[in-house]
Every structure is written in C-alpha cells, then in structure tokens.
C-alpha cells in the first residue's frame, strides 16, 4: 500500500505527540516494509505552525525533528502542485479545514491511502483511508 500519513499519525508514529496512540493495524501497516510511507509538505507546515504557537514541542525543535524523521524513515514526498490544489474541487468535506482538504486532494491525486484518526475525514469517504480508530 501507498500510505499518506495524516499529521497526527506521523507525530504519533515518531513519538512526537501522544506516543502509543496507533492501533495495532496501523502500527503493523507502518512497519510493513512492503508499504510506502508518504508525508505531505502540508504536514510539515502544520507541524511548524503548531510548534510556533506553542501547542507542540518536539525534541530539538521542529526543523531538527523533521530532518531526523526523514533520515530515519524513507518517506516519500508528494509534490504539492496546482493539480493537487485543483483536486480540492472534486469533493466536499464536512468542515472547512484547508489542511485537511489538501491532504485529501493529495491522496486522491496520487492514489494514496490516507492514514488518519480524524472522524470527519473517515466519514467523508472523499478518498481511500486506513482508520486509526
């Protein structure tokens, strides 16, 4: 599988926020070397914003934490292109969060499975998902 990690899933998987919150199924999928793990630039932006507002603290700071994460795990990075942004017009989410819209559009455009615990995203059926509930 090609798995796009929602920001909270990435943090949980790296022990950066609320470690041990992954379900067994998601933990197995993330550990399975046959699966590709993808991180959107949107998640990096979201982490930088959370740290900047003081809502998230990461060892060594966000830039060092992100750099170390990409060295430790072979994450793929889907480009955030005009086509991805235009894909946000192909679905409706029950809330107006632009970060969620960009993550869903990225999953749809690149045919990735979004790994999330976000009940609104899971209920939307806007893209393929792997539930962490």
| pLDDT tens, position by position, 88-112 | 999 999 888 999 999 999 999 999 9
Q: Nearest to residue 77, comparing CAs of 45, 51, 55?
A: 45
Measured distance CA(47)–CA(21) in Å, rounded:
18
Reported as a single tens digit per residue, the pLDDT across 17-70 is 565 799 999 999 999 999 999 999 999 999 999 999 999 999 999 999 999 999
Radius of gyration of the chain (CA): 14
Q: Which two tokens stand for residue 127?
A: 């893209």
Structural domains present in the chain: 2-131 (3.40.50.1010)
- The predicted model scores a pTM of 0.94
CA distances from 78 to 26, 86, 106 (A): 21, 15, 7
């Amino acid at each position: 599988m090609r798995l796009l990690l929602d920001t909270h899933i990435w943090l949980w998987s790296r022990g950066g926020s609320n470690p041990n919150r992954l379900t067994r199924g998601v933990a197995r999928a993330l550990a399975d070397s046959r699966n590709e793990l993808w991180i959107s630039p949107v998640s990096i932006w979201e982490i930088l914003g959370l740290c900047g507002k003081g809502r998230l603290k990461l060892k060594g700071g966000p830039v060092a934490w992100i750099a170390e994460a990409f060295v430790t795990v072979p994450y793929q990075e889907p480009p955030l292109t005009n086509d991805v942004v235009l894909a946000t017009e192909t679905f409706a989410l029950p809330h107006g969060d632009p970060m969620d819209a960009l993550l869903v559009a990225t999953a749809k455009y690149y045919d990735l499975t979004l790994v999330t615990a976000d009940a609104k995203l899971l209920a939307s059926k806007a893209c393929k998902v792997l539930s962490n509930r």
